[in-house]
Amino acid sequence: MGFDTIKERRQLEKEIEKEHKAMRIKENHDKWLSEDLFPSLYKKYSTKPINEKLVVFASSKKEALPDTMTSLFSALTSKGYECRFFGKSSFKSKSDEVRYYKEFFRSFAVCRALFIDDVFDPVYSITVRDGQRIIQLWHTPAVLRKTGYAIGKRGVAGEITDRKLLHTNYTDIAASSPHVKEALSSVFNCDKSIIHAWGCAKTDIYFDQKFVSSAREQLIKSVPNLPSRIGERKIILYAPTYRGTNADNAYALRTLDLLLLKRYLGDEYVFLIKMHPFLKKESYGTEEEKDLISDFAFDVPSSVRPETALCAADILVTDYSTLIFDYSLLCRPMIFYAFDFKRYTKHKPLFYDYEKFVPGPIVYDSGELAEAIITETKNFDTERMNKFRERYMGGCDGRSTDRIIHYAVKKSSQE
């Protein structure tokens, strides 16, 4: 690599050194948090007795209570428990950060149970005392892509697992079925004995017939221009996962030919596009092309809950998204648009043989997708879908919330 001037080279060297310095400062700060601040705060506040009626919820990714926790929070509150939530926070200063962690540990150190649904750094330095539980709900019902310890030393996941404390002190992990214990054990590098097929609390809503039957109307109302154009047409929901490694570098590959899909499907279907929360809105074509498909393809606002969109859909088109586990509970057709399968799985290996795993046809271009939608709606294999649902979501039966509360909160307080 050449430089036009010595000045440019020196400037680049300064920028590199600045980045290295920032990394060293962050590493030292993280070390101070995990080795000094967190243990000292837990030790300080755990001198008080455990409050049998206090349950804490914490999320490092969401500012508001995530859907993985909503039903548990509500149910426990109705049963007389005091529930407190600690969400994602942006610290303006070190004193703000310390204040936040003091508040968290003041509750965590005396609570009956702590629920998390992803990585939550403050807990990994702690060995909880007898009578306390740390329950990992995870943010997806089951796992498809390898992550955490399952991916070894590769990429971001490898860097994360180099932090030796990660995931090491859970007392319980909630699973969607007995079959997924092996994969979860690999992700968290834990013994399968702490993984329980209690089901996933957030899936209980798929067994609420009132909610399911009202979802179509709710979704139609939420999508601009759709109410006056949908008529009696069925809904195809396109919900792809993101490419990249996290929210900072997530991207989508827009390869669908929506004009072709409209030509084949437009009389019977509308095509609703629900992007992953990590993805920013991108254009699907020129203004002329968008005008031609304006009565067929519609963007679903990010404010629409995934479960509303799924329950409203007559057919789901996705790729490697874990939404397939949720949608399987509805026993409706799925089609897998895996146009970049080799490229994607090279960087994001899967736990399962994709071709044998998915409960629907795999397609690689828009023409195949159109044909599959027409064929699958006429010849949907309900037996195949039911087997998939039982294998991967067998613990989800509409009573997961009550089961988690019974085993992770009530029962532990009586042992």
Going by DSSP bridges, is the β-strand pair 195-196/362-363 parallel, antiparallel, or unpaired?
unpaired
- C-alpha to C-alpha distance for 400 and 147, rounded to whole angstroms: 25
- Same fold across 18-199+399-414 and 208-393: yes
Cβ–Cβ < 8 Å for 252, 240: yes
What pLDDT is recorded for position 344?
A: 83
Count CA within 13 A, CB hemisphere, residue 157.
19
The matching CATH number, chosen from 2.60.120.10, 3.30.70.260, 3.40.50.12580, 1.10.150.20, for 208-393 is 3.40.50.12580
What pLDDT is recorded for position 305?
A: 94
Q: Nearest-5° angle of CA 305, CA 211, CA 203?
A: 65
Where do the domains of the chain lie? 18-199+399-414, 208-393
Other C-beta atoms closer than 10 Å to the C-beta of 345 total 15
- C-alpha to C-alpha distance for 126 and 122, rounded to whole angstroms: 8
- C-alpha to C-alpha distance for 95 and 399, rounded to whole angstroms: 42
Q: Which two tokens stand for residue 165?
A: 């404390």
Q: What pTM was estimated for this model as a whole?
A: 0.88
Q: Which amino acid is at 401?
A: T
Cα 191 to Cα 141, 172, 303: the distances in Å are 19, 10, 38
Please name the residue that has the structure tokens 């409203």. Answer: 312
Cβ–Cβ < 8 Å for 175, 198: yes
Fold classification of 18-199+399-414 is: Rossmann fold (3.40.50)
Cβ–Cβ < 8 Å for 166, 124: yes
Q: Which amino acid is at 317?
A: V
pLDDT tens per residue across all 415 residues of the chain: 455 677 777 777 677 677 766 777 778 888 899 999 999 999 999 999 999 999 999 999 899 999 999 999 999 999 999 999 999 988 888 899 999 999 999 999 999 999 999 999 999 999 999 999 999 999 888 888 888 888 875 444 444 445 557 888 999 999 999 999 999 999 999 999 999 999 999 999 999 999 999 999 999 999 999 999 999 999 999 999 867 655 554 445 568 899 999 999 999 999 999 986 655 555 555 666 778 889 999 999 989 999 999 999 999 999 999 999 999 999 999 999 998 888 888 888 899 999 999 999 999 999 999 999 999 989 999 999 999 999 999 999 999 999 999 999 987 544 4
Sign of the C-alpha dihedral computed for residues 397, 401, 402 and 407 taken in this order = positive
273 three-class SS: strand
Closest to 323 measured CA to CA, from 383, 375, 231, 393? 393
Burial 267-298 (b: 16+ CB within 10 A, else e): eebbbbbbbbebbeeeebbeeeeeeebebbbb
291's CB contacts (< 8 A; 6+ apart) are none
Cβ–Cβ < 8 Å for 67, 94: no
